Amino acid sequence: MKLASLKSARDGQLLVVNQDLSRCIDASDIAPTLQAALDNWSVCAPLLEARHQALTKQTASGMTFEAGRCASPLPRAFHWADASAYVNHVELVRKARNAEMPATFWTDPLMYQGGSDCFIGPTDAIDLIDESWGLDFEAEVAVVLDDVPMGVSVEQAAHHIVLLMLVNDISLRNLIPAELAKGFGFYQSKPSSAFSPVAVSLDELGDHWLDGKLHLPLRARLNETLIGEPNAGQDMTFDFPTLISHAAKTRPLCAGTIIGSGTVSNLDRSKGSCCLAEVRMLEIFADGKATTEFLQVGDRVRIDMLDNQAQSIFGSIDQQVQRYSRVT
Amino acid sequence: MKLASLKSARDGQLLVVNQDLSRCIDASDIAPTLQAALDNWSVCAPLLEARHQALTKQTASGMTFEAGRCASPLPRAFHWADASAYVNHVELVRKARNAEMPATFWTDPLMYQGGSDCFIGPTDAIDLIDESWGLDFEAEVAVVLDDVPMGVSVEQAAHHIVLLMLVNDISLRNLIPAELAKGFGFYQSKPSSAFSPVAVSLDELGDHWLDGKLHLPLRARLNETLIGEPNAGQDMTFDFPTLISHAAKTRPLCAGTIIGSGTVSNLDRSKGSCCLAEVRMLEIFADGKATTEFLQVGDRVRIDMLDNQAQSIFGSIDQQVQRYSRVT
């Protein structure tokens, strides 16, 4: 099944969406919001699945699905932790600044806690105060979990994945070095993220969901230019169950927790990149300097994933950068 | 007014509590949960205040208040960011490991994003898998906010503080060095935090709330030993409005955001400490080695704050460490 949240109040109104994203139907009688459904997932999931079947078989009428009227599937969440599971990408970042990568990075996942109180919608503008901050997109895959006990094993963790989404993990690259140098991790350099219009259950992904990874190309476009379409199932050093077990080592994870993959990146450079920072690093290696600029006001970023029939699975994250006037 | 959350479902049931914490009254007809009240604060706050007045004047009957039946005021929150605003404490930590502190630490706040999906209750046990992880408490003050726009000024930020609480920011000290060395900040080393039974509006604090700081001693006890009672209003380098403005530099903050002060610490060492790590650092300076152990299974931590009449303002965080069996 596919689920979305119509913009409404703070937490949206739960919708069931059909396979080709053309039709949808209200599901707020089953659970008013996606978070409410996740809070009571074992009861709600079969009901939502039945509604999805009815919509598919056209025994329920529904209405036209409009991604532009949707919030992120979880308009706000209690837990958003983003990993950096494509370690070749991390190695590249380090190499670009002549820093060696510790060998443990291949065995011990990198993960940071992100801001989850104000996600922006999939087609909402990205508000930017200052272009000199180095605004970048990061195209990623993310999983949504039911309740996960503290100390969960990798094997058990796999059973707690209930939905998948795409993410634009928006980053302010020029704020990162000074912030990380302070030692407490990202905060100001990672403003609100945006998620795909639709969250999708594992059965919708067929054979593409295998070994805790999603084996399909993730497409990132800037204005009319394809920036990359690396396969999210390739070169992912840590699969999602491993990331979940890492996250739950010292605490339980509440239903509705979102775990991100980090920027998707393939060793095969012909596949392009899922963020501008990687494009710039490759330019530095090739030409000694980066020529691609970070995002400017007016730029448009699109992130999506197509199935074998060239059908968008999650809908498009489609965002334009706009200038924000600082409140005083 | 004083507010608490009776343990009930995932988000508790909103209670209004009287000044001396002896009586309380249901407020779930005004808003079912504290988060719901914060989501609609301008409407709910006057209604909650009126209920508080009725309880105080005994025109509303109420029932006995039992902190042991309470969750943290926000049992889960969408945003929990913890600062390290007592910079002399940070300097001490650094000195103990012979690391110089950058001068910018006096002007640019340290802040990390904490896990907020599963706060533990004020009198709940602290579940510990492994004593070798170096479990420590950190006694702090925290503010709860209404909606804060991105780019808010320090001056305006002060107007967004609606409630205060105490925090036990539980830390796993022996996991911190390796985690911070990875560069992404705290994650496994900062498990679920606990908050005081009661959240308190600013008017309850009278003259003790001044210049964006809470000027009262914060008391931390381990078993029957007083560990410290430094004044939270002294030596706080960054006041709460400054911390809020820092947090909102690149994103808005959703209603119900919690901002913590970091471990309270005074330059006057006779006031003791609000965490065991500081006790151990002072032992290292004095004797060349730390003799105080981190928390063991069975240890009891109490954190509270008394007013001039020796009346507990927030109720006590009162937690015992218990062994947790790892799920496989």
Nearest CA in chain B to A105: B182
Chosen for mutation from B94, B251, B295, B326 (greatest number of chain A CBs closer than 10 Å) is B251
Contact: B186, A184; criterion CB under 8 Å? yes
CA distance B201 to chain A (A): 22
Residue type, B68: G
How many beta-carbon contacts under 8 Å exist across A and B? 149
pLDDT for res B326: 67
Chosen for mutation from A100, A107, A113, A246 (greatest number of chain B CBs closer than 10 Å) is A113
pLDDT for res B327: 56
Given pLDDT bands bounded at 50, 70 and 90, which one contains residue A173?
A: very high
pLDDT for res B80: 98
List phi, psi (to 5°) of A178.
-65, -35
B116 touches chain A (CB under 8 A): yes
pLDDT for res A5: 98
pLDDT for res B190: 97
pLDDT for res A146: 98
Q: Among B133, B186, B251, whose Cβ lies nearest the Cβ of A192? A: B251
Write the pLDDT tens digit of every residue in B226-266: 999 999 999 999 999 999 999 999 999 999 999 999 999 99
- Mean pLDDT to the nearest integer, B288-314: 97
Sign of the alpha-carbon dihedral angle for B180, B184, B186, B191:
negative
pLDDT for res A328: 52
Write the pLDDT tens digit of every residue in A31-49: 999 999 999 999 999 999 9
Partners of B246 on chain A (C-beta within 8 Å) are: 188
pTM, full prediction: 0.98
pLDDT for res A325: 81
Write the pLDDT tens digit of every residue in A135-144: 999 999 999 9
Given pLDDT bands bounded at 50, 70 and 90, which one contains residue A60?
A: confident
B257 touches chain A (CB under 8 A): yes
Name the residue with tokens 């008017």.
B203
Contact: A115, B251; criterion CB under 8 Å? yes
Chosen for mutation from A79, A82, A97, A117 (greatest number of chain B CBs closer than 10 Å) is A117
Query: Across all residues in chain B, what is the average pLDDT?
Result: 96
Contact: B10, A39; criterion CB under 8 Å? yes
Please give the ipTM for the structure prediction: 0.97
Write the pLDDT tens digit of every residue in B34-92: 999 999 999 999 999 999 999 999 887 899 999 999 999 999 999 999 999 999 999 98
Percent of chain B whose pLDDT exceeds 90: 92
* CA gap A168, A196 in Å, rounded: 8
Q: Among B129, B172, B187, whose Cβ lies nearest the Cβ of A112? A: B187
pLDDT for res B24: 98
Write the pLDDT tens digit of every residue in B118-172: 999 999 999 999 999 999 999 999 999 999 999 999 999 999 999 999 999 999 9
3-state secondary structure chain B: CEEEEECCCCCCEEEEECCCCCEEEECCCCCCCHHHHHHCHHHHHHHHHHHHHHHHCCCCCCEECCHHHEECCCCCCCCEEEECCCHHHHHHHHHHCCCCCCHHHHCCCCEEECCCCCCECCCCCEEECCHHHCEECEEEEEEEECCECCCCCHHHHHHHEEEEEEEECCEEHHHHHHHHHCCCCCCCCCCCCEECCCEECHHHHHHHEECCEECCECEEEECCEEEECCECCCCCCCCHHHHHHHHCCCCCECCCCEEECCCCCCCCHHHECCEHHHHHHHHHHHHCCCCCCCCCCCCEEEEECECCCCCECCCCEEEEEEECCCCC
- Mean pLDDT to the nearest integer, B191-216: 98
pLDDT for res A327: 57
Given pLDDT bands bounded at 50, 70 and 90, which one contains residue A114?
A: very high
